[in-house]
Structure 1
Amino acid sequence: MCAALIGGMDRLKRDYIISAKQKGIKLKVFTGKENKVSSKLGSADHVIIFTNQISHAAKKDIVKYTKAKQIPLHMFHSCGVSTLKNCLEKL
């Protein structure tokens, strides 16, 4: 399974990837500083957004993209590793 994480903190990027790998999930991480993230998502099975770390415009772009491609979207305000772990357990 492949998931994409949009938002989060740069310093936790490695921790996000390691946590997902432990669950058997390949994780693409976009910390929110990249332009047009939706075009870079590729074939993600799930998209996770940490809403407190991205702009409203970026959030709208991702929501629109996931609806069009019928990709499940999960949004959380917190951007901690524990929040990601909880989300990954529910996938």
Structure 2
Amino acid sequence: MSVVIIGGHERMERIYISTGEKHGCKVKVFTKMPSDLGRRIGNPDYIVMFTDVASHKLVLSTLKISKKKNIPSFRLHNSSLQTLENALTEIKELKH
């Protein structure tokens, strides 16, 4: 299962990836807005957005991409590790 994480703290990027792997997910993390976001996101199973630290432009662009590609997305206000673990657990439950 693949998950894209939008937002979050740069210093936590490796922790987000290792937590995703611990939950059996392949994870891509975008803490800043790349110029080619739509292409770089690809076709993940889910998108998780940390809205507290992501720019409005990044969140709106991600929502537009998720609607266009029909990718389910989770919006989380807190970018903590526990919040990510709860979201990944919920995603695994939805997947089964």
Q: TM-score range by the shorter chain?
A: over 0.9
Q: What residue identity is the alignment partner of 1:17? A: I
TM-score, normalised via structure 1 length: 0.93
Distance 1:87 1:73 in 2: 11
Structure 1 residues 59-90: Cα deviation after superposition (integer angstroms, max 9, x where no partner): 11110110111100000111111111000000
Q: In the TM superposition, what are the counterparts of 1:51-62 in structure 2 within 5 Å?
A: 51-62=51-62
Deviation at 1:57, TM superposition (A): 1.5
Structure 1 residues 11-67: Cα deviation after superposition (integer angstroms, max 9, x where no partner): 111111111101100000111243342331012110010011111111111101101
Unaligned runs of 5+ in 2: 92-96
TM-score, normalised via structure 2 length: 0.88
**Cross-structure match for 2:50:** 50
Question: What RMSD in Å do the two structures reach over aligned CA positions?
Answer: 1.1
Percent identity reads 33
Distance 2:89 2:42 in 1: 22
Aligned residue pairs total: 91
Distance 2:74 2:23 in 1: 17
Q: In the TM superposition, what are the counterparts of 1:23-42 in structure 2 within 5 Å?
A: 23-42=23-42
